[in-house]
Each structure stands twice: as C-alpha cells, then as structure tokens.
Chain A
Amino acid sequence: MAGLAAGESIVVPDKMLKDAGINVVVDEVTKIDPEKKEVYTAGGKGFQYDKLYLATGSRPFIPPIEGKDLEGVVSLRGLGDAEKIKTFLSEKQPENIVFIGAGFISMEIASLLMENMPGKFNISIVELMDRPLPLMLDKDMADLVTEYLTEKGLNILTGEKVEKILGNNGKVSGVALESGKKIGCRHGICKCGS
C-alpha cells in the first residue's frame, strides 16, 4: 500500500523451493481423490500423496451489512487487494474514505494514507467498541492512540455501529450509523473486513 516494495519483492521465489529439491507445479488442482490419495490438475496431471496439505488461503470476512456489495467497498488481505485499492484511489480520486472497524489493518492503512498524502482525504474510522484497536489495547492506551491520530486529522468514531452502507447508482455514497449519524462518502471508498 505504501509503495515501498514491489509486488515481486514480497513473494517466495520458486528458486528457493526448487533449490531445496521441492517440485513446483503451476497448475490448478481440480479434484482430490482421497481413496486413491491422488490430486488431479486442470492440465491433466496427477500427483499421488501420502500426506496432503491444503494451503488454499482465506478471504476477508465482510460483515453482513446492507450495501456491502456496492462499488467502492473494499477489503484488504493480500497483494492483489492492495493493488486494487491503489488503482481505485488513483483513478477515482475519492475525497472521503470510511473504515469500518478500527482494527490493525484499518488503522495502519488510514495512518499510511494520512501520512503519505496529507490533506488529500477526509478519513473516518467507525468502531463498534469504545476504543480503536480493541483487541490489542486497553482503554487508557487506546485513548493515547486516539488523541494522537485525531490530532493528525483522523476522524475516529467509537461506540458506533454501522447500520447500512449507503449507495447511489451502485456506488458507495456514505455510511449510516445506528445512532442516526451519516458519514458522506461520495465517490469514496469504504473499507471493511479483514
């Protein structure tokens, strides 16, 4: 996200695996036969196994909030997501960004955007709990974080539940909170899930 490292620089190089005598196959596994203990690929290959390890990854969990499928609602987990967000920011030039949840990833991206592009975005973070980073910090420590980041320009809303992500023509336009407040996010981006 910060643009400090090229995508290729954060991958495990095949050479390292091959040098360790590991057979690397780039193909899609389409079927596993647990009785024969064999996996099959789209390319027509078959690989027998004694032990099979499935490392197919995971997807971000996006809470079932109305409007979560609108254009401009994004999540961040891997390199592909970071590239999509960077492209969105550069092409759509949003003014407002809302983060749903003040977890580690939201706080990191918000701070990063604020630091790298000061004054470019109005950034709001909505957190259900009474403090940011609720799984990491207790209240007195979190208060210091809130104070510091608020001074830097972040709008941190705690104890607020997002009721709905608002949309217009299929695109995100804001966030409605259960308390009745609304945060405008026209042509904006709304990040949730991790």
Chain B
Amino acid sequence: MKQGEKLVIVGCSGSGGPAAMLSRKLMPDIDITVVRKEKFFIVR
C-alpha cells in the first residue's frame, strides 16, 4: 500500500491485532484503523 492509503481491519480474532502491528511495521506511512466490538483483543 502507498503512503496515505487507508487500511481498515475488522475484528479482533487472533490475527487482527498482529495484522495491524505487522502492517504498521511494513508500511509505516499508511493509515490503519481497527474496528472491533469486543472490549479486548483476545489472543488464543
């Protein structure tokens, strides 16, 4: 993804949080939003 593009992650399964963190590391200039309904990110 290019600078300024938007990544939206829906959900807090085992992959949602790591996907957000990994995306930030690989693409520091994109805009990342995580939307989840649960109170916590639950890791199995």
Write out the residue numbers on chain B whose beta carbons fall within 8 Å of the beta carbon of A55.
Answer: 9-13, 15-16, 19
Write out the residue numbers on chain B whose beta carbons fall within 8 Å of the beta carbon of A7.
Answer: 40
**Given A12-B41, A17-B21, CB of A50 within 8 Å of CB of B32:** no
Q: Would you give the shortest CB distance from B32 to chain A, in whole angstroms?
A: 5
**Given A22-B24, A77-B44, CB of A41 within 8 Å of CB of B35:** yes
Query: What does DSSP make chain B's interface, helix, strand, loop or mixed?
Result: mixed
Q: How far is the CA of A120 from the CA of B33 in the complex (A)?
A: 48
Which residues B1-28 have CB closer than 8 A to chain A?
1, 5-21, 24
Q: Is the CB of B34 within 8 A of A25?
A: yes
Q: Is the CB of A20 within 8 A of B24?
A: yes
Q: Interface 1/0s, chain A 127-152, versus B by CB < 8 A?
A: 00000000000000000000000000
Q: Is the CB of A47 within 8 A of B33?
A: yes
Write out the residue numbers on chain B whose beta carbons fall within 8 Å of the beta carbon of A17.
Answer: 17, 20-21, 34, 41
**Given A10-B42, A49-B7, A77-B44, CB of A28 within 8 Å of CB of B13:** no
**When the two chains form the complex, which single residue of A39, A77, A79 contacts B8, counting CB atoms closer than 8 Å?**
A39
**Chain A: interface size category:** 35 or more
Q: Is A52 interfacial (CB 8 A cutoff)? A: yes
Q: How far is the CA of A31 from the CA of B16 in the complex (A)?
A: 18
Instruction: Count contacts on B: residues with CB < 8 A to the other chain.
Output: 33
Q: Is A78 interfacial (CB 8 A cutoff)? A: yes
Write out the residue numbers on chain A whose beta carbons fall within 8 Å of the beta carbon of B8.
Answer: 39, 47-49, 51-53
Q: How far is the CA of A149 from the CA of B32 in the complex (A)?
A: 48
Q: Is the CB of B5 within 8 A of A51?
A: yes
Q: Is A58 interfacial (CB 8 A cutoff)? A: yes
**Given A11-B40, A11-B43, CB of A53 within 8 Å of CB of B35:** no
Which residues A100-126 have CB closer than 8 A to chain B?
none
Q: Is the CB of A23 within 8 A of B33?
A: yes
List 20 A-B pairs, Cβ < 8 Å.
Answer: A17-B20, A20-B21, A21-B32, A22-B34, A23-B31, A23-B32, A26-B39, A48-B6, A49-B6, A49-B33, A50-B6, A51-B8, A52-B8, A52-B10, A53-B19, A55-B9, A55-B16, A57-B14, A58-B13, A77-B44
